[in-house]
Amino acid sequence: MTFADLLLQQTINGLSLGAMYSLLALGFTLVYGILELINFSHFNVFMIGSFVALWTLQMFGLSGQEIILAGLPLAGVLLVGFAVTMVFCGGLGVVIERVTLRPLRNVKGPAAMITSIGVSYILFNVVLLTVGADSKNFPNPLPAIRYHIGGATLDFRVILIWIIASLLMGGLYLFVQRSRLGKAMRATAQDPEAARMMGVDVDKVVIIAFFLGSALAGAGGMIFGLYYNFTSFIIGFTAGLRAFTAAVLGGIGNVPGAMVGGVLIGLIEAMGGQFIATAWTDVIIFSILVLVLVFKPTGLFGRLAPTRS
Amino acid sequence: MANGATAATALSFLARPIARIPEARRGQVGIALLTIAAVAFPIFIDSNDADVDSMANAAAYATLALGLNIVVGFAGLLDLGYAAFFAIGAYTYGILTAYQLQPPWSSFWDVFQFLGLATPVPADIGDGMVVHFTLSFWLALPLAAALAAGFGVLFGAPTLRLRGDYLAIVTLGFGEIVPIVVRNWSDLTNGAAGLNGVAAPKLFGWSFGVNSVPYYYVAIIMVAMLIFISIRLRDSRIGRAWMAIREDEIAAAAMGVDRTKFKLLAFAIGAAFAGMTGVFYVAKLQTATPEMFGFPVSVMILVMVVFGGIGSVWGVVLGAFILQLLQSWWLQDLTQWTHALGRVTGSTLLLKADFVQSIELIFGIILVVMMLFRRQGLIPATRPQAALSFEQQHAEIQRGGFTGLKLQGLGGAVRTGAVALEIKGVTVRFGGLTALNDVEITVPNGGVVAVIGPNGSGKSTLFNVITGLVDAEAGSIRFHGEEVIGLPPHEILMKGIARTFQNLRLFPNLTVMENALIGQHARLTTGVLRAILRPPRTRAEEVKAREWAMEVFAIFGNRLTPRVGQMVSGLSYANRRRIEIARALASRPRILLLDEPTAGMNPAETLELAEQIKSLNELGLTVLLIEHKLDVVTTLADMVYVLDHGDVIAKGTPSEVRRDEEVLRAYLGRNAQSAAAGMTDVA
């Protein structure tokens, strides 16, 4: 492959990874925007999403790479897969908020963050102890259609991932910008106290933020499975940290920022893997995180400054 | 219930001897008993080396927990990558004793050989000689501590400006990067395979080898030393500065604490503890791999701190021991018993159970349960204070006694005609909003100047810009001729400008005395070494600081003096206002900036405080006052400035300002004339 082909190929790969990171980053940004909490449990809600998707697809008799679907059956299976995964993860997010985080909402200091680390650890280990440490094959029912652009390959599955992620993110954007609840959400993010006084039910807004964020993380988990054809208890940590970096890069609390940030991190990962070394990917991404926080704390698109006033 | 009652009966025979020990001595007796138990432990366990080994590991984790406690517990900085410093210490010793790094031998290395740090050995390939590093374990301990502290500063410096939650994620990032670097820098670290053949410690030529007992004693000595250091630091100027940052960073800065310096100090000292422990840990295992220092280790140490009690020295030690022994003793026993039960009952489920693997699940549950139900941990860092007695609570209020206050610490020359504070052309903008516009205010030395104005007129912003909490866009503020714009808040306090806040910014979980001692931070000189060694000079300084605090409290009669040991959060609003003034006075200011000092006080309390401020001024203290109650302004101020929408719209004596048309308009709107009669009430 020529250099241009490599560049194109890694752009395609990066955009696919980016779609996944964007979905995951949205959850961080929604919750942080309202509660100013880094929700570490989000890491493993994503991981659980990939398992729920796996089990849902298995219920359709899909396993491994043998069964290929097309047309309406494929659309149906994917629709049910995404729906079940997203509803399950959304519900899980709501339970986490309701049971472990709401009692600590007005506690000063790192208590809520420490709790979310604890919850993340519990989710991680429950999956490890029940499912086991070995990685699981994720069914791939998508037809192996490939388009060739120069020396680069564009997979049908990649196109599908782009379409699904775009639909989900577009839907979320419209919800936040247009709907009554979305407006309440933005108002709460700006000033919870004022929003409460104007009659916004802040508890409801927080629940919705957790539901939507976790549902999108679940969708991200299913996309992970479809893209990599495997899943494992361990996938939440790395993906979660990269997605968090994406949220910071885009300006934490900023919904479109998280989407763009995710795509940028995906591209950086793909290019870094190609042109530097995969082993250093995390070092590169963390360096970006630190540099952004130090030099442009409001991220590329700005909203909340992570420095003290 | 029955068990509890039996235990209580069993323990009741202890109650009498304990009661016979004087209260002040109980701590010492406890420590003596603990020491005896720790020293005797391997002797009683003699044959079972594995148990001693478990205890040595537990002690190593206790030292890590003590280090993290300084960062998280004392300074309130959540560090999720603490294991990185553990790794740095471990690899420092590992690389400098294993057969990993072997540069060719040359005369350059002779001096190292002479110092016992290197020896020539035959090369594996070819027939030349190569260097084998032989760093002594005992030398490695301080070296690794210093190196880890250096990395602590390096990692901390760019990130400490960030809010606590971001600091957590950035430290997590560093915690991930260090093992990645170790894994990929194979020449130095042998990569994922790990360092092998790390030398065991030697004492007078005798190698520890793989015998657990000497390691156990080294670990116990380290724990004892670090407990001592932690307690000494906690109860010193250093510890108070950390706790002030933890409680309220802005107030800490305004009270003279250099935030960056003390946060970095906490990071460095915490890292040093971890670096030392790293040396011990690899020397004991005689191997080091990147996996030994990942995120799970950082979380485990955090769990120990949370479980034992964030900020509690004995708590985190207990937490570390319990969790480490849970892992290496109790869960294994439980697994074995369950397997035995499984064999008896023939249940395969019980036979397959392995509780040791569920340790991380237990860690997660501990984090959640402790945060939800017992945030102070097993041994809380602060014990509830005894309430005041009935007599103390109902004692007749005494007005402040000024006869006893030696005010040489306060103020400068009284009314020399010199200018104390000169504010010229100061402009502050927040985005599009001009909070202060070309403000000019002069405060004569020894005078009382009041700033009044409607809400949102820029009064508090004025104080913030004088004390360095807000940046000015233009203008100059000179204090006794020295420019203070551009100085950080703590340096401004050092020059003698102290303030109070409109919405009280005390350190709520510290005592009244501690609040006043933090006020004196800038006037005390104890550093880390003096805090640990506590020489006579430091003891004397502490005694004097407490005496001065009591003198300041005496201004408020018997309002504060009986309550010095109480937590600020439990006191009345008026008393908290008084404490904030006392805290500012404790810093021995030359000018005192009071932001609505009588807000929320009833008329009698207001009058009392106004008199006290008057007396302070008569003793030489210059005062700049923001106040809404015009009778207070009239009684106290020589000069009044009126702010409106960031502009000074009037200045003059209180009576002049009262008659000013523009002032009336700003306060009362259009019908100023007719409403003028009601001015005193409204303002």
Residue A308 with chain B: CB contacts under 8 Å: 161, 163, 249-250
Q: Looking at the structure, tell me whether residues B182 and B216 fall in a common domain.
A: yes
Please count the CA atoms within 13 angstroms of the CA of A148 that sit on its side-chain side.
3
Measured CB to CB, residues of chain A less than 8 Å from chain B are 36-38, 100, 103-104, 107, 109-115, 117-122, 124-126, 128-129, 237, 241, 244, 248, 277, 279-280, 282-283, 286, 289-290, 293-294, 297, 306-308
Residue B297 with chain A: CB contacts under 8 Å: none
Q: Which residues sit opposite B644 in a β-bridge?
A: B647
Delimit the domains of chain A by residue range.
24-235
pTM: 0.89
The chain-wide mean pLDDT, for chain B, equals 86
> What is the domain extent for residue B208?
50-97+135-373
Q: Looking at the structure, tell me whether residues B77 and B211 fall in a common domain.
A: yes
pLDDT at residue A102 in the model: 93
Closest CA to A29 of A241, A254, A242, A236: A254
CB B513 within 8 A of CB B564: yes
Domain harbouring B197, CATH code: 1.10.3470
CA distance A92 to A81: 16
Nearest-neighbour CA in chain A from B163: distance (Å): 5
Closest CA to A226 of A112, A100, A56: A56
Q: In the block, which residue shows the tokens 């009314």?
A: B415
CA distance B171 to A241: 12
pLDDT over 80 at B662, yes or no: no
Is residue B496 in a domain? Answer: no
Q: Looking at the structure, tell me whether residues B530 and B615 fall in a common domain.
A: yes
Distances in whole angstroms, Cα of residue B189 to Cα of each of B83, B97, B141, B144: 17, 12, 19, 16
CB A283 within 8 A of CB B181: yes
Who's near B583: CB < 8 A, 6+ residues apart? B255, B506, B515, B516, B518, B519
CA distance A242 to A43: 10
Are B368 and A100 a contacting pair at CB < 8 A?
yes
Q: Place A18 in a pLDDT band, splitting at 50, 70 and 90.
A: very high
User: Which amino acid makes up residue A235?
Assistant: I
pLDDT over 70 at B7, yes or no: no
pLDDT at residue B195 in the model: 86
pLDDT over 70 at A25, yes or no: yes
Are B372 and A115 a contacting pair at CB < 8 A?
yes
Q: Model confidence over A140-180: pLDDT tens digits? A: 888 888 898 888 889 888 999 999 999 999 999 999 989 99
pLDDT at residue B680 in the model: 46
Distances in whole angstroms, Cα of residue B565 to Cα of each of B353, B383, B385: 52, 11, 7
**Torsion A259-B158-B264-B321 (CA) sign:** positive
Query: What is the arithmetic mean of pLDDT over B16-41?
Result: 81
With a pLDDT cut of 90, the percent of chain A lying above it is 59
CA distance B615 to B619: 6
Nearest-neighbour CA in chain B from A244: distance (Å): 9
Residue A244 with chain B: CB contacts under 8 Å: 169
Q: Looking at the structure, tell me whether residues B672 and B594 fall in a common domain.
A: yes
Q: Place B163 in a pLDDT band, splitting at 50, 70 and 90.
A: confident
Are B158 and A294 a contacting pair at CB < 8 A?
yes
Query: What is the arithmetic mean of pLDDT over B131-138?
Result: 88
Are A121 and B367 a contacting pair at CB < 8 A?
yes
Q: Place B396 in a pLDDT band, splitting at 50, 70 and 90.
A: low
Q: Looking at the structure, tell me whether residues B75 and B105 fall in a common domain.
A: no
pLDDT over 70 at B136, yes or no: yes
Report the residue of chain A nearest B183, measured CA to CA: A279
Q: How do beta strands B639-644 and B647-652 pair?
A: antiparallel
Q: Place B1 in a pLDDT band, splitting at 50, 70 and 90.
A: very low
Q: Looking at the structure, tell me whether residues B298 and B216 fall in a common domain.
A: yes
User: 10 Å Cβ neighbour count for B546?
Assistant: 15
Is residue B42 in a domain? Answer: no
Q: Looking at the structure, tell me whether residues B123 and B143 fall in a common domain.
A: no
CA distance A37 to A29: 9
Q: Model confidence over B417-428: pLDDT tens digits? A: 788 899 999 999
Of B109-113, B274-278, B535-539, give the lowest mean pLDDT range. B109-113
Question: Which value does ipTM take for this structure?
Answer: 0.90
pLDDT at residue B65 in the model: 97
Query: What is the arithmetic mean of pLDDT over A89-101?
Result: 96
Closest CA to B647 of B435, B421, B460: B435
Element (H, E) at A161: helix A156-178
Closest CA to B401 of B536, B529, B560: B560
Q: Model confidence over A225-253: pLDDT tens digits? A: 999 999 999 999 989 999 999 999 998 88
Is residue B624 in a domain? Answer: yes
Q: In the block, which residue shows the tokens 């001729």?
A: B481
pLDDT at residue A309 in the model: 34
Who's near A89: CB < 8 A, 6+ residues apart? A45, A46, A48, A49, A52, A214, A215, A217, A218, A221
Interface A–B counts its CB contacts (< 8 A) at 120
Token code pair at residue B648: 């000074």
What is the torsion angle, in degrees rounded to the nearest 10, for the CA atoms of residue A104, residue A108, residue A112 and residue A114? -140
Residue B367 with chain A: CB contacts under 8 Å: 114-115, 117-118, 121
Q: Model confidence over A190-232: pLDDT tens digits? A: 888 888 899 899 999 999 999 999 999 999 999 999 999 999 9
Who's near B140: CB < 8 A, 6+ residues apart? B92, B93, B96, B97, B279, B283
Q: Looking at the structure, tell me whether residues B68 and B57 fall in a common domain.
A: yes
Who's near A248: CB < 8 A, 6+ residues apart? A261, A289, A292, A293, A299, A306, B166
Q: Looking at the structure, tell me whether residues B56 and B126 fall in a common domain.
A: no
- Check CB contact of B173 with chain A, cutoff 8 Å: yes
Is residue B647 in a domain? Answer: yes
Are B176 and A290 a contacting pair at CB < 8 A?
no
Q: Model confidence over B201-253: pLDDT tens digits? A: 888 878 888 788 899 999 999 999 999 999 999 999 999 999 999 999 999 99
Q: Looking at the structure, tell me whether residues B54 and B168 fall in a common domain.
A: yes
254-313 in B: which are within 8 Å (CB) of A? 295, 299, 302, 306
User: ∠ CA(A42), CA(A305), CA(B475), 5° rounding?
Assistant: 170
CB B420 within 8 A of CB B443: yes
Q: Place B8 in a pLDDT band, splitting at 50, 70 and 90.
A: low
HEC-encoded secondary structure of B96-156: CCCCCCCCECCHHHHHHHHCCCEEEEECCCCCCEEEEECCCHHHHHHHHHHHHHHHHHHHH
Q: Model confidence over A37-57: pLDDT tens digits? A: 999 999 999 999 999 999 999
Closest CA to B569 of B521, B502, B515: B515
Is residue B303 in a domain? Answer: yes
pLDDT at residue B683 in the model: 39
- Check CB contact of B482 with chain A, cutoff 8 Å: no
HEC-encoded secondary structure of B542-597: HHHHHHHHHHHHHHHCCCCHHHCCCEHHHCCHHHHHHHHHHHHHHCCCCEEEEECC
Q: How do beta strands B647-652 and B195-196 pair?
A: unpaired
The chain-wide mean pLDDT, for chain A, equals 90
Q: Model confidence over A255-297: pLDDT tens digits? A: 899 999 999 999 999 998 888 888 888 888 888 888 888 788 7
pLDDT at residue B311 in the model: 93
Nearest-neighbour CA in chain A from B162: distance (Å): 5
Q: Looking at the structure, tell me whether residues B257 and B280 fall in a common domain.
A: yes
Who's near B406: CB < 8 A, 6+ residues apart? B551
Closest CA to B683 of B573, B636, B675: B675
Q: Place A305 in a pLDDT band, splitting at 50, 70 and 90.
A: very low
DSSP class of A104: G
Count of domains in chain B? Answer: 3
Q: In the block, which residue shows the tokens 């395979």?
A: B193
pLDDT at residue A235 in the model: 94
Residue A282 with chain B: CB contacts under 8 Å: 176-177, 180
CA distance A288 to A248: 10
Token code pair at residue B551: 């003198």
CA distance A237 to A40: 9
Residue A248 with chain B: CB contacts under 8 Å: 166
Q: Model confidence over B499-530: pLDDT tens digits? A: 999 989 999 989 999 999 999 999 999 999 99
Q: Place B104 in a pLDDT band, splitting at 50, 70 and 90.
A: confident
Q: Looking at the structure, tell me whether residues B173 and B312 fall in a common domain.
A: yes
Nearest-neighbour CA in chain A from B62: distance (Å): 20
DSSP class of B69: I
Q: Model confidence over B18-30: pLDDT tens digits? A: 777 777 777 888 8
Is residue B673 in a domain? Answer: yes
pLDDT over 50 at B2, yes or no: no
Report the residue of chain A nearest B166, measured CA to CA: A306
Query: What is the arithmetic mean of pLDDT over B380-385?
Result: 73
Residue A127 with chain B: CB contacts under 8 Å: none
Is residue B172 in a domain? Answer: yes
With a pLDDT cut of 90, the percent of chain B lying above it is 46
